[in-house]
Structure 1
Amino acid sequence: MNQSFDAIVIGAGQAGPALAGRLTEAGMRVALVERGRLGGTCVNIGCIPTKTLVASAYAAQIARRGREYGVEVGPEIGIDMVRVRDRAQGVSTRARINVETWLRGMKGLTIIEGHARFESPTTVRVGDDLLTAPRIFLNVGARANVPDMPGIGGVEVLTSTAMLQLDTVPRHLVVIGGSYIGLEFAQMHRRFGAQVTVVEMGPRLIAREDEDVSEAVRAILADEGIRVRTNATCIAFKPHAEGIEVTVDCNSGEPTVVGSHVLLAVGRRPNTDDLGLDRAGVAVDARGYVTVDDTLATNVPGIWALGDCNGRGAFTHTAYNDHEIVAANLLDGGSRRVSERIPGYALYIDPPLARVGLSETEARRTGRTILVSKRPMSRVGRAIERGETKGFMKVVADAQTQQILGAAILGASGDEAIHGILDAMHAGVPYPVLQWAVPIHPTVSELIPTLLGGLKPAVAAEPSLANA
């Protein structure tokens, strides 16, 4: 069957449904094609279920620390992993139902289940149906990367998606990859009671962050009994009587580690390899990401790419902002650009790491004259009251323009407190404006004016505050 539409949206992740809503409100007939579950990664296998698991792990940790707060909970706590899993699935399911209810009530929208493949720049095939439209939007997301490591075909490894199905606590979880997804699952399952080892090929964890941030995160994990093996230059796998033997080949320590479960958390790859993009002439880069310009348009007129598949951001909030950019430019006469977006994200270990803008290392590389200020979370009254004083705050500014260039908050409620800095950066106000704000006491944010007041010319990197 042939069907014609004003627009086709391929993928129902964070950007797709919202864009479909804007397009249908503008009076367009829109087809939304989804081969999996509505809601995409975030709702089904990403942010929502994983952060629900993080919340359960946090509750377990607070229960263990109850005596510190004068609360007696007994010598042992129990983890019902079936209930933990079911709670996460329940939260995810409710979110997906809400998305589906919204979409199915959208006037002018046709939801088509199946895998879309291009036949031409204006035509896609879904099963036996041909859909045509002058505007096509790709929101196909990404999936866990499973590289061809030695021995990986002979063992059963888990991805972040498979981890969500666990109904028992692993005896020993070996996490391959010391970055954001891997570290969240590592701490989570350590708090559920598993022995955990993190194996990272590089010299340190979360290598894109400043070294002091990386060291502090490693210290936080080590304090909870998580083993970290860096410089794992030759990772390999083979079956073992107790599970899976992982060769780490580090410069020090045992050459192998045996886990009952192995999580492979070594990045993600875009879902662009089975879309027939070549038939439409859409260009991709060496890693498979759709090449887009600053307005998210591809090299083919009438085709755009949003979300994880375009390589311009790997977060739910950047995907949603992608839809805002496209909708503003197409429907509102705007001239929005991706380059105007100030990058921000968080690592949801406990305490969380929140980041916005440039790191100190990145700021130094620009050649600017920069100012830096750093304060330990042990100076924050709110953190002291909560008994959660690990970590620090750091901000970087341009000495000449007084613009904030970036910040990191590794500490209690840092993922919320960072938004004051992000908003000031977005508004383009010089840092003294925020420095003279009067924040509420007691909050984590109240240290920010003090932090800004401590900005000084950057010198050699300061000693780590990992143990602050």
Structure 2
Amino acid sequence: MSVQIIKLEISGMTCEHCAQTISKKVSQLEGLISKKVNYPEKKGEFEFDTDKISKSEIIDAINSIGNYKVVGETESNKNKNAHYDLIIIGGGSASFAAAIKASELEKKVLMINDGLPIGGTCVNVGCVPSKTLIRTAEQYHIANHPNFSSIKPCENKIDFKEVIRQKTELVGELRQHKYVDVLKDDLNVTILKSFGKLIDKNTVEADGKKYSAEKILIATGSTTFIPDIPGLSEVDYLTNETLYDLEELPEHLIVIGGRYIALENAQMFARLGSKVTILQRSFRILPDEMPDLTETLKEYLEGERIEIKTGAKIKSVENKNGKIIVNASIKDNNEIIEGTHIFVATGRKGNTKGFGLEEVGVELHKQDFIRTNEYMQTSIPNIYSAGDVTGEYLFVYSAAYEGALAVENMFSEAQKGKEYSVFPWVIFTDPQVAGVGMDENQAYENKIEYEISTIQLKDVPRSIAARNTKGFIKLIRNKDNDKLIGARILASEGSELLMEISLAIKYGITVKELKQMFHPYLTLSEGVKLAAISFDKDVKKLSCCAV
């Protein structure tokens, strides 16, 4: 949406009713955002969306009413800085949460967005497209590899182009319903499709115009960090911004990286029918997690014929005879990997270039991320930042939290610091990886006397009945007070167990109390209770529903 404000001199008005008549007439025009008609001054100010209506159409509408006539234009935002309470650069989750919160506070907001469409990474090239494709691949995989031997798989085939078409359709629908429609009738919020650049700490230039505000929020998100590999820039490599628009299924997809984006997409394409090779620099996938989890997940992925090469140092990449050729050292042994496509998932970097941030003194850190304090302020006190561009928690739900928190702190004397002591997260492989709180290493580093309890899903009735016993549930408790301090889960739909554990950690529910809670029989959540019981008893020696 591109916004313009015009101020018109209007002749023929003789009373306040005349001003009301003109206001009523122009209100019927699609694209009009706001209007102010002043009878004593014989003037009208009109804010409108130039994508839907032109200045001349507004003038024609006024001239069509009785004796009223526009006799001149006194001011235009072409010649005067438009002033707002808050200017947001970015159009994703953090931006929308911030705009909604600011509107609730009756603040005038300008959101400037370019690059990815409204909705940012999550709805366009992240969460939404990846998760619907992962579910598609899962259904296809189950149809051809049922858990029950009584079900005979048939030769199911998949229409990849139709899969991508349905994905694109879903992305469009959610972008419209969950983003565009949310703010389209909000008179406090104006959305401008343009690239915004800071001129000074209170001024942003966009679309050839200057806009000023008391507060500014930078929520420009992140993009793939591309490593400096000889030849990589010369091949048509894929990132999450291009992977989901492929029109044909890759014959052999080479994945550079071994963390959550790499693993989710590797398994998804393997299940859809691609040969997949993962090249991971460290000696374990998900190297920040404990070996019991990573090695078990690696075993499951390799069981689906995904080739995983860890300890990989990529020397060069080239395109030869229509193939992608990767020259790599795998644990000090030279190998040549040949594929048809290459997907880069080697971490993220902040979208901070070209916005004038460094010129006005906004401090950066790590991979071009914006440094913020606990109140979401940058090194410039009136400029705040939220979401992926801060480089702290790169999740859509944390971005929304930070966007709203930043606005609360901007316009309130009572400052509230960000609170991430209990933060649940999920990796949508199958089985899913889910975690909250500390792991064993973190508990040790924090000098906590901890104890772990791990129950394998082969001992959980729900998993046994579903004939899907891959994975485990691991709880970590503080031995001094019997309170949970963390959990790691590897299970189909393991993500659905997280919130019970998260609430237990946040509100200090003890393991004893958790064991005493009723958990319906033949639910996966019963596995949490069994894991709690396992701190003190061997559940293999208990009957069903025993405590």
Per the TM superposition, whether the score is higher than 0.5 is yes
2:108 corresponds to 1:29: yes
Q: 1:251 Cα deviation (Å)? A: 2.6
- Give the alignment of 1:134-153 within 5 angstroms: 134-153=214-233
Residues 17, 239 of structure 1: CA spacing in aligned structure 2 closer, same or farther, 3 A cutoff? Answer: same
Q: Are the aligned partners of 1:138 and 1:305 in contact in 2 as well (CA < 8 Å)? A: yes
Equivalent-residue separation in structure 2 for 1:170 and 1:424 (angstroms): 44
Deviations 1:331-390 (A, max 9, x none): 677543224442221111111100111122222222211111111111222222222211
Unaligned runs of 5+ in 1: 457-468
State the alpha-carbon separation in 2 of the partners of residues 408 and 70 from structure 1. Answer: 33
Q: Tell me which stretches of 4 or more aligned residues in structure 1 moved more than 4 Å.
A: 330-335
> Where do residues 207-286 of structure 1 align in structure 2 (5 Å cutoff)?
207-241=287-321, 243-251=323-331, 255-286=335-366
Look at both structures and tell me which one has the larger radius of gyration over its CA atoms: 2
CA deviation after TM superposition for structure 1 residue 194, in Å:
0.9
- Could you tell me whether the CA contact under 8 Å between 2:267 and 2:429 is conserved in 1? yes
* 1:70 CA displacement: 3.4
Deviation of 1:33 (Å): 0.8
Q: Please identify which structure carries the higher strand content.
A: 2
Match of 2:499 in 1: 419
CA contact under 8 A between 2:164 and 2:245: conserved in structure 1?
yes
Contact 1:81/1:166 (<8 A) preserved: no
Q: How far off is 1:326 after superposition? A: 2.7
Amino acid in the other structure paired with 1:56:
T
Cα gap change, 1:80/1:334 in structure 2, threshold over 3 Å: closer, same or farther? farther
The one-letter code matched in structure 1 to 2:105 is A
Q: Which of 367, 373, 376 does residue 296 from structure 1 map onto?
A: 376
Corresponding residue number in structure 1 for 2:92: 13
Alpha-carbon displacement from aligned partner over 1:283-302 (angstroms, at most 9, x marks no partner)? 11142111111111112111
Amino acid at match of 2:431: P
Tell me, yes or no, if the aligned pair for 2:96 and 2:400 is still in contact at 8 Å. no
Deviation at 1:410, TM superposition (A): 0.5
Cα distance in structure 2, aligned partners of 1:19 and 1:129: 23
Amino acid across the alignment from 1:450: L
1:156-175 counterparts in 2 under 5 A? 156-175=236-255
Give the one of 144, 149, 157 matched to 1:78. Answer: 157
CA-CA distance at 1:72 after TM superposition: 4.1
- 2:300 and 2:320 map into 1 onto residues whose CA distance is 30
Give the secondary-structure state (helix, strand or coil) at the position aligned to 1:161.
coil
TM-score, normalising length: structure 1: 0.93
- The share of aligned pairs that are identical, in percent, is 28
Structure 2, unaligned stretches of length 5 or more?
Answer: 1-77, 537-547
**Alignment partner, residue 461 of structure 1:** none
Distance in 2 between the 1:345 and 1:178 partners?
17
> Where does 1:302-381 land on structure 2 (aligned, <5 Å)?
302-330=382-410, 335-381=415-461
Q: Which residue of 2 aligns with 1:65?
A: 145
Cα distance in 1, alignment partners of residues 172 and 271 from structure 2: 25
Partner in structure 1 of residue 62 of structure 2: none
**How far has the Cα of 1:29 moved from its partner?**
0.8
| Aligned residue in 2 for 1:405 | 485
Are positions 1:177 and 2:252 aligned together?
no
3-state SS in 2 of match to 1:133? strand
SS in 1 for 2:329: coil
Letter in 2 for 1:364: Y
Match of 1:128 among 188, 208, 215: 208
Question: 1:158, 1:262 within 8 Å by CA — same for their partners in 2?
Answer: yes
Higher relative contact order (CA 8 A, sep 6+): 1
- Say whether the 8 Å CA contact 2:452–2:476 is kept in structure 1: yes
Which stretch has the larger CA shift, 162-171 or 233-242?
233-242
* 1:465 equivalent in structure 2: none
Question: Which has the higher mean CA deviation after the structures are superposed, 260-269 or 18-27?
Answer: 18-27
Local SS of the residue matching 1:5: strand
Corresponding position of 2:526: 446
**Secondary structure of residue in 2 paired with 1:314:** coil
Contact 2:385 2:406 in 1 (8 A): no
